[in-house]
Amino acid sequence: QVQLVESGGGTVRPGGSLRLRCVASGSVFRIYDVGWHRQAPGQERELVAHITPGRNKWYPESLKGRFIISTDDAKNTVFLEMNNLQPEDTAVYYCNAIVRSTADEPDPPNDYWGQGTQVTVSS
């Protein structure tokens, strides 16, 4: 089985920065697409960053230039660097990954989610 664990959240002042980390553990044979999502109270969960196996990256237009997704493939880790944070960025942030656990696992690979890490931006 595969587990995803996020860390790095916390409380910051407006204009501050945080780097979130998501580590995949357990039986990990290959990781495909990875995304970061966030959900504020009373709001729908939204995709804030996506990276493909070819390392193409996508961000919603409103977050381009502020959020950066990156990986450390050797450590099965994905990061989300968040800069110039604003109160509107307050949410629980989740990582999501498509993972094949073993070489002989039948298609499709499974979609895994972490438990989330809280980010609060407050003056």
What are the tens digits of pLDDT across the range 99-108? 999 999 899 9
The phi and psi torsions of 115 (rounded to 5 degrees) equal: -85, -15
Q: Which residues pair with 30 in a beta bridge?
A: 100
Average pLDDT over residues 69-85: 97
Task: Fill in the amino acid letter for 110.
Answer: N
Q: What is the dihedral of CA 52, 81, 121, 47, to 10 degrees?
A: -10
Over the stretch 5-60, which tens digit does the pLDDT of each residue have?
999 999 999 999 999 999 999 999 999 999 999 999 999 999 999 999 999 999 99
Residue with tokens 């656990």: 101
Per-state percent for the chain, helix, strand, coil, to nearest 5: 5, 55, 40
Give residue 38's pLDDT.
Answer: 98
Give residue 32's pLDDT.
Answer: 96
Go through the chain and tell me how many residues it has.
123
State how far the Cα of 118 lies from the Cα of 85, in Å rounded to an integer: 13
The closest alpha carbon to 114, from 2, 6, 41, belongs to: 6
Q: Confidence band (pLDDT; 50, 70, 90) for 79?
A: very high
Average pLDDT over residues 60-70: 97
Are 81 and 90 spatial neighbours (Cβ–Cβ below 8 Å)? no
Average pLDDT over residues 78-95: 98
Identify the DSSP state of 62. Answer: G
